[in-house]
Amino acid sequence: MAKIKGFKGIRPVIELASKIAALPYDVMDSDEARERVVGNKYSFLHVDKAEIDLDKDIDIHDKRVYEKARDNLKEMIDKKYFIQDKSDCLYIYRQIMDGRAQTGLVFCASIDDYIDNVIKKHEFTREEKEQDRINHVDYCNANTGPIFLTYREDEIISAVINAWSNREPEYDFYAEDGIRHITWVIDNPIIVREIVELFKGIKYMYIADGHHRTASAAKVGLMRREKNPDYTGEEEFNYFLAVAFPDKDLMVMDYNRVVKDLNGHSKYEFLERVSEKFNIEKCKNNDGFKPTEKHTFGMCIKGEWYKISAKEGSFNENDPIKRLDVSILQENILTPILGIEDVRKSERIDFIGGIRGIKEINKRIDKDMQVGFSMYPTDISDIMAVADIGKVMPPKSTWFEPKLRSGLFIHHL
């Protein structure tokens, strides 16, 4: 049973929403963030990546970075770039990319649901990345970017959300990447209570993106509980900012791989080894091959493209993890042939999000790689199946687009 609640959202004044809204902190480095804010003093990157307003020599995990984030957020609120709703509200957040819409509900989720695995995980987290966001949330005393959740669609919840979204939106703008962002404020307390009650019928929610931010938000909540032993459980620090989309709305994009060398094999030897577990078909042109079904891959070797299909017996269709294409590639090519045991640590492999297209694989092959693989996207049902058995997805399995914008909703602790 999922426990959600409304909150008094801190959000941009209408005329500044498009200027404030920014891509998440973890999709760019500091230098790129500095470039993005040129001429835009309103960008929320001044909060989420506050190092851009400090000397470049300062470490991004220095205490001064978190202090600057806190100060920048306070200044933006004091200057009335933001307003705060006077009652607990829920919010609808719709994104439209290439004609495809995904519509989510913005709310506060319970840290206990995360701890008790009502909100399920499918990735490991790293302590140093958690600590960065713990510091950021703690210093800012706020969740500044929503966690990206999903759930198995509930028709009644969808009907209520769709009915409200027939009203005039609060924000409606196109970001610089062409993605449209539309939001509505659900400020009717009766509708808020109805949706909160309906979510009690949702057995599980799943983290689609934002595992480190979720873990960090929960740990900040636990820290606050230690400082307030008489807490009731209803304080704001017991909750974190989230937006949940029904599973049918989401599209997972491919997450492709490129490798620097053939691990000592000649091209002929490599193809011979691959043919043991895959059917190989040379493509008629070398522009690229984008798989259209599971268990098929595009493979580019030194500029030549092949379609490869996993042979029967090369994977276990009954195992939620081993049947994933990322696992099939890892266990049949990357590890035994190319000698890459751990893709998280190897410097011989790199990853290309599907948003960058097949052309990026060709570009890397021309530049610094010898072999590339185009993948069929992981399905959202596969992510849920892995999370349901308490396991984690292989590294670099999913790439979600569009990315949620930070700065549209802030939850004060």
Residue 118: what pLDDT? 97
Q: How many CB atoms lie within 10 A of CB 58?
A: 14
Distance CA 394, CA 320 (A): 11
Residue 356: what pLDDT? 85
Residue 254: what pLDDT? 92
Crossing angle of helices 63-78 and 127-140, rounded to 10° = 40
What is the Cβ-side half-sphere exposure of residue 342, based on CA atoms within 13 angstroms?
2
Query: pLDDT (tens digit, 9 = 90+) per residue, 115-129?
Result: 999 999 998 888 888
For residue 398, report the phi and psi dihedrals to the nearest 5 degrees: -130, 145
CA of 57: how far to CAs of 49, 61, 360, 362, in Å?
15, 12, 32, 36
- CA angle 229/234/238 to nearest 5° reads 70
Residue 125: what pLDDT? 87
Residue 8: what pLDDT? 98
The list of the chain residues with pLDDT below 50 reads none
Residue 131: what pLDDT? 95
Residue 186: what pLDDT? 98
Distance CA 341, CA 334 (A): 7
**Residue among 132, 131, 112 at smallest CA distance from 222:** 112
Distance CA 21, CA 26 (A): 15
Distance CA 383, CA 386 (A): 5
